[in-house]
Amino acid sequence: NYPARVKIIDVGPRDGLQNEKQPVAAAVKVELVQRLQDAGLKEIEVTSYVSPKWVPQMADAASVMAGIDRRGDVRYSVLTPNMQGFEAALAGRPDEIVVFGAASEAFNQKNINCSIAESMERFAPVVRAALDAGIAVRGAMSCTVGCPYEGEIAPEKVGYLAGLMKGIGVQRVDVADTIGVGTPIKVQKALEATLAHFGIDQVSGHFHDTYGQALSNTLAALELGVWNFQSSVAGLGGCPYAKGATGNVATEDVVYLLHGMGIETGIDLDKLIDAGQFISQHLGRPTQSRVAKALLIK
């Protein structure tokens, strides 16, 4: 019994580009956002307000947010790891901010330079300030099945983090397989541990495709009734703090899977493929989307 419709957050402009070594002009990011919304995406993760020393590619967050042509029916989200990031983000009027932690202590430390407990102390005032300002709050949970430093992650650790996120007022959470090591049953366990704290409408799947398992994991999540997913156009990306981690599952591939199952997304696959071609050509490498490759040859 699969959901009748699915909502996709394209995280390409943020997760997809954050690890890109060559500088990508803000105007290109703005056009990517434009093409994604033209293709029917209703949620786009645009950028992050993080330290430019840690993630130089996101240093233009303010220009990108200022440059996009906002549509009233699209939700634009941005990452804000602390109060400094949140205050910087305000001028760009994000619809939603994202705080981000990890189920693994070691990854949390490498990614945001503090322990899980400390991160909650940093996030709590950010969450309160956002909610007071009428901005929605999402929590991203990294390494929910495996960690590059700690190996396999027990579902209990995911449940623990989800409980902390809930406790500080986060409204919905992403269950992320940061390094793409997950397989369907393990991913379902991570999702179930999260569902002990959040309703089915508040839990999304964020699967990197490093081991080629992301579509299987998407199907496994759909089986549980999960209907919110994050993916990157053209399969862009990788996390700077997860060595060897490749991009998110390609949005084109997820859309093809869903449409093939009769599940509605509101996304125009052809326009999405064009958006993927736009950014892939700009980066000078082929798309990572199998569906785009297949359809472009036809």
147 is catalytic: no
Asked if 57 is part of the footprint of ligand HMG (rule: CB under 6 A), the reply reads no
User: Minimal CA–CA distance to 75: which of 167, 7, 166, 2?
Assistant: 7
Q: How far is the CB of 212 from Mg ion (least distance, A)?
A: 16
Asked if 113 is part of the footprint of ligand HMG (rule: CB under 6 A), the reply reads yes
How many residues of this chain interact with ligand HMG, rule: CB under 6 A? 27
Q: How far is the CB of 176 from Mg ion (least distance, A)?
A: 5
Options 111, 204, 213, 288; binder of ligand HMG; rule CB under 6 A? 111
Distance CA 205, CA 226 (A): 8
Distance CA 36, CA 44 (A): 8
85 binds, among Mg ion, ligand HMG, none (CB under 5 to 8 A by kind): ligand HMG
Asked if 162 is part of the footprint of ligand HMG (rule: CB under 6 A), the reply reads no
Asked if 235 is part of the footprint of ligand HMG (rule: CB under 6 A), the reply reads no
Calculate the alpha carbon distances from 75 to 72, 93, 219, 276 in Å. 8, 11, 25, 20
Alpha helices per DSSP H over the chain? 26-38, 61-67, 83-90, 105-112, 116-132, 155-167, 184-195, 214-223, 251-260, 269-283, 290-297
| Cα Rg, the chain, nearest whole Å | 17
**Residue 54, both tokens:** 């840690």
Place of tokens 């330290």: 51
Asked if 194 is part of the footprint of ligand HMG (rule: CB under 6 A), the reply reads no
Footprint on this chain of Mg ion (rule: CB under 5 A): 15
- Which stretch in 162-170, 189-197, 237-245, 251-259 sits in contact with ligand HMG by CB under 6 A? 237-245
User: Running DSSP on this structure, what letter comes out for residue 2?
Assistant: -
Site string for ligand HMG, 200-219 (x = CB under 6 A): ------x-x-----------
Q: Please give the residues from 267 up to 296 whose contact with ligand HMG meets the rule CB under 6 A.
A: none
Q: Are 65 and 78 in contact (CB under 8 A)?
A: yes
**Residue 260, both tokens:** 């093939």
Asked if 198 is part of the footprint of ligand HMG (rule: CB under 6 A), the reply reads no
Options 26, 233, 239, 249; binder of ligand HMG; rule CB under 6 A? 239
Residue 217 CB: number of other CB atoms within 10 A?
29
- Which stretch in 68-76, 83-91, 188-196, 209-217 sits in contact with ligand HMG by CB under 6 A? 83-91
Q: What are the residues whose beta carbons fall under 8 Å from the beta carbon of 115, sequence distance 6 or more? A: 105, 108, 109
Asked if 160 is part of the footprint of ligand HMG (rule: CB under 6 A), the reply reads no
Asked if 149 is part of the footprint of ligand HMG (rule: CB under 6 A), the reply reads no
Asked if 140 is part of the footprint of ligand HMG (rule: CB under 6 A), the reply reads yes
Distance CA 235, CA 208 (A): 9
Q: How far is the CB of 296 from ligand HMG (least distance, A)?
A: 27
Place of tokens 């799947």: 205
Tell me which residues are annotated as active site: 239
Chain residues in the site for ligand HMG (CB under 6 A): 15, 18, 48-51, 54-55, 79, 81-82, 84-85, 88, 100, 111-113, 140, 142, 176, 178, 206, 208, 239-241
